[in-house]
A and B are shown apart, each in its own frame.
Chain A
């Protein structure tokens, strides 16, 4: 199952990429599992997605919690708390 991942602001600077297409392993079907997968890449990924670090997730452009499901073709974005206005 393939999904599109996007990274914004300080999260993008940490991991060094703005977007990627990723084939998810069978066991990864929620936002929380996906974050664990990304953290397991180690190095700057581990820092960016460290436990206790606030990183918001949006699935198909709506804010999603860790237990939210992910489906084929989803656009999943990771970013820090917003600071516009």
Chain B
């Protein structure tokens, strides 16, 4: 399992290659990449700053991955989340999961992403032409996470 919270960009291809190369039993790799959009809630986004709670962030992501491992047959998992200042089209987050078959990999990838969005202590602040604003939590994200309970 690889969990990283970092300022630096990540190379999606290299991360996926490394994840699947670790074990020849891998038959499926499902991945999600989240990116910074240029428009959010009707305003142009210049930059986005991501803040987190060091220590709790890593612990909460590890707990989410462990829960996924209890629900599906997984081989390995990589979660990378960036912090600091990002711009539109920058990659924010990578969740990648390997399994013997695609069903478990698809489901676990979506589950980890849904839980990460509602449980891991990250906060986004956007710079827009009208000034800086904190991104509000969305009810649709809570509903997405509740599907799994």
Also in contact, A82 and B120, with CB within 8 A (given A9-B125, A77-B56): yes
Query: Chain B interface secondary structure, helix, strand, loop or mixed?
Result: mixed
Query: Is there an interface contact between B119 and A85, defined as CB atoms closer than 8 Å?
Result: no
Q: Contact string, A73-85, partner B, CB cutoff 8 A, digits 1/0? A: 0000101111111
**B94 → chain A closest CB, angstroms:** 11
**A54 → chain B closest CB, angstroms:** 8
Count chain A CB atoms within 10 A of each CB in B56, B118, B125, B137 and give the residue with the most.
B56
Query: Is there an interface contact between B120 and A84, defined as CB atoms closer than 8 Å?
Result: yes
Query: Is there an interface contact between A61 and B120, defined as CB atoms closer than 8 Å?
Result: no
Query: In whole angstroms, how far apart are the Cα atoms of A84 and B60 in the complex?
Result: 12
Query: Is there an interface contact between B51 and A8, defined as CB atoms closer than 8 Å?
Result: yes
The 4 closest A-B pairs by CB, nearest first: A84-B122, A81-B137, A9-B123, A85-B117
- A residues with CB within 8 A of B: 6, 8-10, 58, 61-63, 77, 79-85
Provide a sorted-by-A list of 9 A–B residue pairs whose CB atoms are within 8 angstroms: A79-B53, A80-B123, A80-B137, A81-B136, A83-B134, A84-B52, A84-B116, A85-B93, A85-B120
